[in-house]
A and B are shown apart, each in its own frame.
Chain A
Amino acid sequence: MASAVAGQTANGDKRDLLILGGGLVGMTLALAAARQGISSHVVDRADPADLTAEGFDGRASAISTASWNLFANIGLAPQLEPHGCPIESIAVTDGMRPGRIDFRPEPHEGSLGRMFANRILRLTLFEAAKDEPLISWHSRAEIVERERGPFGVSVRLADGTQLSASLMVAAEGRNSPTRKETGLTIAKWDYSHQAIIAGLVHEKPHGNVAWEIFYPAGPFALLPLLDGPAGQHRSALVWTVADKDAAGVLALSDRAFLTEVEKRMHGVFGSVSVEGPRSAFPLGFHHTARITAERLALIGDAAHGIHPIAGQGLNLGLRDVGALVEAIADGMRLGLDLGDPQVLKRYENWRGLDSFMVALATDGLTRLFGIPGRLPSAIRRLGMGIVQRTPPLKRWFMDEARGVTGDLPELLKG
């Protein structure tokens, strides 16, 4: 399949895709494409050993049902299954005041998603990619030059290697240098907030409940994780704080940090201790109206980044993967070149509106809960009470969380 679109170049083989960025989204794309017989170069600056080291990234991701289907469809379910903690319900409250929405699906509707440590996702993807001959993986590689032209794309690496393909895919995350170089403009605003990430060990079992507790300063989320090896009950904490406070929170002593956390948990899980290091990630919203250019597609955070409160960032990126692979594979079945503008247009039309809607909805939620004061709080609680008592509204929110609304790519269907 590697030679489906073109012959050999002077320096190495020309492949179908040149994927810049081998993170969760980029590597999932390479694997999903390979399952369709589409070959790729994957270029990443980092050393995979660092990325999968214990303690490199304490983040965890809520994998929606749709995203889970994608992993299953590319054959990763057996490896991932034992590491996922199903979310059986989501409890949303306004600072633990009365009035709370419980999103709990009926038993036959399945779970709202599963929590995975990012490290596990990365390990599984890297392991699968190593065994896949259609993926040519270039790690610890610095790109010094990108080129896109009428017949193909290429990059030159710092060591002189030239890699070429039919279509370039930028999966480099929110600061995508490829997007900047192309001049695709983004709409963005900064929340002036950071997410503090930490692992918690707690006395009472979480009962597979994810908590989203909204405070005016920002949401405080507890996401259920599998019990530890010694039976410890664990959750991942995502606590949003203002930029100016972030450094201070990171610098708190373990004991002082724990006190702040416990104050916001109101004892829902009994006594708590902090596990592992704390880290902070800046929050922002950005969206590009155009996610394609000549022989270029943006996916994942390179195309759109959203506030992580609803755990939708990675899920959106995985939807990009499903849509792009389907557009490419359908085009190839018609004999179209991978970089054909009609193929890219289909991807752009498909993903543009969907990701913008999710980004807006998530952003709206953050802003709604970010207004301090008693009256807004009362309105929010009233709103939550209405949603709680209105089954169609609740179902819509749950379907959004599961990621099963909208026009789903085949790869994300069960």
Chain B
Amino acid sequence: MPDATVTSVTIRPEEAAHFGKLASDWWDPKGRSAMLHRLNPVRLEFIRHAIDAHWAQDIRTMKPLAGKRALDVGCGAGLLCEPLARLGAEVTGVDAAPANIEAAALHAQGMGLDIAYRAGELGTMDAGRFDLVTAMEVIEHVADKGAFVHELALRLAPDGLMVLSTPNRTAASRLLLVGAAEAIGAVPHGTHDWDDFVTPEELRQLLSAAGLTMGAPRGIGFSPVHGLRLTGDLSLNYIVTVKRD
């Protein structure tokens, strides 16, 4: 379930190349990123809830991010940037693969959305600080996770909100996310390296070292009846809020 290409100084070139190749069919809901399209509403439900709780907003408003700056790290072709822009944010999307950024900018233009897309390393950019920082399914692709989390912390405004999601490192995720999902083509081959997955406790420690506090994680699970949805079961994939200590 990759969104993203890594944006740390420790980026793996082969990862960027893998996702860059997928750029052309990012936006095809039936294409190879189909799983991401189905995952998007689930993530957004969590993010919307976190936004409403963090800034104590009316849950019915259509523009909860009006007047706020948002940064999506490892933005891919903009599947998350575009919803954040519709919710009212001034959005910056960063991705290491230029092909992704090209696809993202083209799509945003077609949709009539004003989003600042930048290809390259987050660390080398002077992008300022953001009220909302997101990195969906990115940290598992990063070699130096401590350095990556530190980069994210630098971009977060003092009273800002961060949301991260990543696969858990469990027997279940090894079987389902890496083995079965790639075998049946639910996610493209070469997407996941199970040994790089981070458990919730490891993530908590990484964040803590960067002066950040992790909220209670929610699982993203799958059931044949309900499809993808937020659950209490963290064994496959989880999503968390993060704030400054």
Q: Residues of A at under 8 Å CB distance from B?
A: 1, 4-8, 14, 37, 150-151, 331-337, 340-342
Contacts and interface: CB of A to CB of B under 8 A. Distances in A.
A334 B62 contact: no
Interface string B69-97: 00000000000001111110000000000
Given A1-B62, A5-B112, A37-B62, A336 B27 contact: no
Contacts of B87: 335
Contacts of B60: 333
B44 A334 contact: yes
Given A5-B86, A332-B62, A337 B37 contact: no
B29 A336 contact: no
Interface in B105-135: 110-113
Nearest to B63: A4
A342 B40 contact: yes
Interface string B32-66: 00000110110011001000000000011110000
Given A37-B62, A341-B29, A341-B37, A334 B48 contact: yes
Given A341-B29, A342-B38, A336 B112 contact: no
B44 to A, nearest CB: 4
Contacts of A333: 48, 59-62
B83 A334 contact: yes
Chain A interface SS verdict (over half):
loop
A342 B111 contact: no
Contacts of A6: 111-113
A336 B111 contact: no
Contact of B44 (A1, A4, A7, A336): A336
A336 B41 contact: yes
Contacts of B38: 342
A335 B37 contact: no
A334 B84 CA distance: 8
Contact of A335 (B27, B59, B82, B112): B82
Contacts of B62: 1, 4, 37, 332-333
Contact of A4 (B45, B59, B86): B86
Nearest to B114: A7
Contacts of B27: 150
Given A335-B48, A342-B40, 8 more contacts: A1-B62, A5-B111, A334-B48, A335-B87, A336-B41, A336-B86, A341-B29, A342-B37
Contacts of A342: 37-38, 40-41
Contacts of A37: 62
Given A6-B112, A150-B27, A342-B38, A337 B45 contact: no
Contacts of B85: 335
Contact of B83 (A1, A8, A14, A335): A335
Contacts of B113: 6
Nearest to B59: A333
A334 B82 contact: no
B111 A337 contact: yes
Contact of A150 (B40, B61, B110): B110
Contact of B41 (A4, A14, A150, A331): A331
A151 B113 CA distance: 11
A14 B45 contact: no
19 contacts: A1-B62, A4-B86, A5-B112, A8-B112, A37-B62, A151-B110, A332-B62, A332-B86, A333-B59, A333-B60, A333-B62, A334-B41, A334-B48, A335-B82, A335-B86, A336-B40, A336-B44, A337-B82, A340-B41
Contacts of B29: 341
B57 to A, nearest CB: 11
A14 B112 contact: yes
Contacts of A340: 41
List 7 tightest A-B contacts by C-beta distance, closest first: A335-B83, A6-B112, A7-B112, A334-B44, A151-B110, A341-B29, A335-B87
A287 to B, nearest CB: 24
A1 B60 CA distance: 14
Contacts of A8: 112
Nearest to A151: B110
Contacts of B112: 5-8, 14, 151
Contacts of A336: 40-41, 44, 83, 86
A334 B64 CA distance: 10
Contacts of A4: 62, 86
Contacts of B59: 333
Nearest to B45: A334
A135 to B, nearest CB: 18
Max count, chain B CB within 10 A of own CB: residue among A150, A334, A336, A340: A334
A139 to B, nearest CB: 28
B117 to A, nearest CB: 17
Contacts of A334: 41, 44-45, 48, 83
A333 B63 CA distance: 8
Given A4-B86, A37-B62, A341-B29, A335 B110 contact: no
A337 B82 CA distance: 9
Given A341-B37, A342-B40, A335 B111 contact: no
A341 B27 CA distance: 11
Nearest to B109: A151
Contacts of B84: 335
A6 B83 CA distance: 12
